[in-house]
Amino acid sequence: MTEGTTGPSAELVGVGEEHRVLSGMQPSADSLHLGNYVGALLHWVKAQDTYDAFFFIPDLHGITVPHEPEELRTRTRNTAAQYIAGGIDVERSTLFVQSHVPEHAQLAWVLTCITGMGEASRMTQFKDKSAKQGADHAGVGLLTYPMLMAADILLYQPDGVPVGEDQKQHVELARNLAQRFNHRFGETFRVPEPFIPEIGARVYDLQQPTAKMSKSAESPNGLLNIMDTDKKIAKKIKSAVTDDGTEIRFDPETKPGVSNLLSIFSAVTDRSVETLEAEYAGSMYGHLKVDLAEAVVAAVGPVRDRALELLDDPAQLDALLATGAAKARATAAPVLAEVYRKVGFLPASS
């Protein structure tokens, strides 16, 4: 799993008879960014009203590249706090840390053992990342993490998974492994069908408005982070790249900078882009930026403040995550037990 949420950075699964969704974002930075918030988290909050919702922090995926242990711990707590502050209700949903539910890693090993070397090495993200790092420096985890992602999905027996362009191979692998296991060992996994999830607003980099906002941005000024101060948010928006001319209109092809600002404005205020275009007709870019800064601060400032409150009491936050892990294991453990029985593992004596 990668860091995003409308592509490989998230897993959103479910909607069939059990009406279950499962989603997660890697703890790869100290803060979620605005793209994570409006593109995924806000939709997760709505999903709680309708579905049996499972939300997790995939920290096991976070060690496929070199990392600092203490930083990972801190970022995992930070991500959990931002989930809750953003509206995830631990009474209505199951919130947990992936490594707190050992069934994820245990099922991943079984799935790894029925995955062909060729199909694993053909995964696009493995090829891209190992090419960047060099074959001698890329960890085996880069090769095998798609099997862990498949385990994340199949443990909870969803009916479907979303299909994004950068996620298709992982979805197909999960389907293939479910079918392969069922064929070899008997019907066990529900084979998830791909479906098109609701797509959140597209939020682009403030300094490179043709590139999606990402934690790996070239410049930190391109990112609007949930945990940024009000002053920093305003400064980043006021320095955002705009376009030639002065007309404020939505045209991603010829005016990507202004179009991005309008999209963000629309996302944080629930006002249509058309309404905003009409409101700012004849105005200067500076006027739009000032008002947008106020709107973004009004939307994410309370989330940041609540997250900081939660982080001030790490013991209580950890207790909430422990409760969530117990709830997740109640679903995952019976699935893993059935898998272990069917592959022939000797049951542990009680």
Q: Which amino acid belongs to residue 67?
A: H
- Annotation says 168 is catalytic: no
The candidate with the shortest Cα–Cα distance to 31, out of 67, 91, 77, is 77
Using CA atoms, how far residue 78 sits from 39, 81, 169, in Å, is 19, 5, 30
Distance, CA of 239 to CA of 101 (rounded, Å): 43
Q: Which of 46, 127, 132, 215 is catalytic?
A: 215
Q: Using only the alpha carbons of the chain, give its radius of gyration.
A: 21
5-16 burial string, b = 16+ CB within 10 Å, else e? bbbbbbbbbbbe
Q: Which of the residues 129, 236, 255, 289 is marked catalytic?
A: 129
Instruction: List the binding residues for ATP.
Output: 26-28, 35-36, 164-166, 203, 212-216
232 is catalytic: no
Mapped onto helix, strand or coil, the DSSP state of residue 255 is strand
Please state the residue numbers annotated as binding site for L-tryptophan.
Answer: 152
Catalytic residue among 46, 127, 132, 212: 212
Q: Is-catalytic flag, 129?
A: yes
Helix, strand or coil for residue 9? coil
Q: Which residues are annotated as a binding site?
A: 26-28, 35-36, 152, 164-166, 203, 212-216
- Please choose, from the candidates 63, 158, 157, 75, the residue with its C-alpha nearest in 3D space to the C-alpha of residue 105: 63
Catalytic residues: 129, 212, 215
